[in-house]
Homo-oligomer: A and B are copies of this chain.
Amino acid sequence: MKISKRAIEIQASPIRKLAPYAEAARAKGIRVFHLNIGQPDIETPTEILDVYRHFDKKVLAYGPSQGLHVYRESLVRYYNKHKIPINQDEIIITTAGSEAIIFALLATCNPGDEVIVPEPFYTNYNGFATIAGVTIKPLTTYAEQGFALPSIKEIEELISEKTRAILFSNPGNPTGAVYLKEDLERLAAVAQKYNLYLISDEVYREFVYDGLSHTSILHINGIEDRAILVDSISKRYSACGARVGCFITRNHELYEGVLKFAQARLCPPTIDQLAANAAVSIEDEYFHSVLKEYDKRRNIVYNEVHKIQDVVCVKPQGAFYVIVKLPISDTEDFARWMLEEFSYEQETVMFAPAQGFYATPGMGRDEVRLAYILNEESLKRAMFLFRKGLEEYNYYKKY
C-alpha cells in the first residue's frame, strides 16, 4: 500500500533523531541534561491547575468552535493591557499555537503558494507547510548579526507571484532575536507593497529582556487587514500540555474563513480553555519573577558559551533559546558523539543541532540551539559538560 507523497516528504522531527542515543546513554547509567527541548521546568501556576481540580460540571460538553465566550472575553482584557485593542469576535481559540498556524496557512494560501520565513525558524513550520501544501521560502539571517531581520531588498528578492505571506516568530525560536517596532514596520511596508499577509507567532511575547517591551504585529497601524497574530499559553504559563492557543485577525473575511476550518474540528478542549481563562488573571508579579529567573539563566548560558574559543553568539533578547556557532563543521555528529561516546562523571548533555532549523541546504551545520530551561545549578553543570565535551570532541577529531 502506497502512502501519500506528503506523508513521505513531511519532515521528521530533527530532534527526535537523537532520542535513541539519549535513551542508550541513560541505559548505560549516564545522566543526560536536556538543553534540546522547549519544555520549561517552571511550575505551572496554581491558578491554572486549580481550575482542573475544581471542575464541577456534570457533563464535559463541547464548547463553541471559536472558543469559550468567557475566555475570549478575558483575552480581550489581556491584549488591551498590552495596548492591543481587539474584540472577542476577532479571536478564535485553537488547539495550541500549532493549530493557529495551520489555520493561518490554510486560509491565506492556496496549495502551491509560497510563504517567506526568516531562517533559522521553528522546525515544525515545515510540517505545517506540508499539511497546508505551501512552500517555505527561507530568508536567511546570520549568527554574526544576532539573526537580525534582513533589509527590504533581501526580502523583495524572495517575492514571487506565488508569495502570499511572511511568517515569523517574535521573539524568535530558535534565535531569541526580538524584532523591534522598526523591524515590524519594515515588514509592514513590504506586505503592503506586495499585498502579503503577516503571520506573527508571538508565543514568547512575555519573554523579552534588558528592559525591552515587546511590539506585537497588532501594534502596527495600517495593516489591519493583513496582520495575523498567533499566540499560545504553553510557554507563557508553563502549560504546554493544555494545548490552548489562539488565532487573531481584524480581517473579518479571513476570520469567517478560519472559523469554518474551526467548525470542522468542532472545538478546542473545554476544561483546558477554562484553565487558560484563569491564567489571564494571574498578577504581573508572576511574569516578573519568571522573567528574572530566565534572565539569570540566559546570562549563565551566554557567559559559559563565551568561554569557548572562536564561538559566535550575540546575546539574544527574547524567548529562552540561543543559537551558538561553534568552531566545528558538523554539530549533528557532535551531538550524537556527546550521547554515544562522551561522558564525564557519568553525565552528559543533549542539545539541538541547528541544521534542522534551516531550510537552505548546508546552513546551520556549525550551529547548535541551546534551550535554557533548567534551573541555575543544572544549567551551570550542563554548560560545563558542553564545553568539556567540545574540547574532547575537537581533540578526538584531530587525532
Contacts and interface: CB of A to CB of B under 8 A. Distances in A.
Interface of A: 1, 3-8, 10-13, 16, 39-44, 48-49, 52-55, 58-63, 65, 95-96, 98-99, 102, 106-111, 113, 124, 126-128, 130-131, 133, 164, 195, 197, 225-226, 238-243, 251, 253-254, 257-258, 260-261, 263-272
Contacts of A266: 96, 98, 124, 240
A62 B241 contact: yes
A241 B263 contact: no
A6 B260 CA distance: 10
B254 A268 contact: no
Contacts of A131: 106, 131, 261, 264
Given A3-B253, A111-B133, A243 B260 contact: no
B60 A260 contact: no
Given A127-B260, A261-B7, A59 B238 contact: yes
Contact of A98 (B59, B243, B264): B264
Contacts of A13: 65, 260, 263
Contacts of A5: 110
A106 B6 contact: yes
Contact of A127 (B6, B7, B226, B261): B261
Given A63-B241, A99-B265, A124-B263, 5 more contacts: A4-B109, A7-B257, A48-B60, A60-B238, A242-B269
A197 B95 CA distance: 28
Contacts of A242: 60, 269-271
A177 B28 CA distance: 55
Contacts of A61: 39, 240-241
Nearest to A197: B1
Closest 6 A/B residue pairs (Cβ): A127-B264, A241-B270, A7-B257, A98-B265, A7-B107, A60-B241
B95 A243 contact: yes
Determine how many copies of this chain the complex contains.
Answer: 2
Given A1-B254, A6-B106, A55-B52, A241 B267 contact: yes
A107 B55 contact: no
A261 B124 CA distance: 10
B58 A43 contact: yes
Nearest to A129: B264
Contacts of A260: 7, 10-13, 127
A227 to B, nearest CB: 10
A230 to B, nearest CB: 13
Contact of A108 (B3, B128, B238, B265): B3
A5 B106 CA distance: 9
Contact of A8 (B124, B164, B257): B257
A3 B254 contact: yes
A1 B124 contact: no
Query: Among A62, A99, A251, which residue has the most Cβ atoms of chain B within 10 A?
Result: A62
Given A1-B254, A107-B3, A110-B6, A128 B60 contact: no
A278 to B, nearest CB: 12
Given A52-B55, A63-B241, A271-B241, A111 B111 contact: yes
Nearest to A44: B60
Contacts of A99: 265
A8 to B, nearest CB: 7
29 contacts: A1-B197, A3-B254, A4-B109, A4-B164, A7-B106, A7-B260, A8-B257, A10-B260, A11-B260, A40-B59, A41-B59, A43-B59, A44-B59, A48-B60, A49-B55, A49-B60, A59-B238, A60-B241, A61-B240, A95-B269, A96-B266, A111-B111, A126-B264, A127-B264, A128-B264, A240-B266, A241-B267, A241-B271, A242-B271
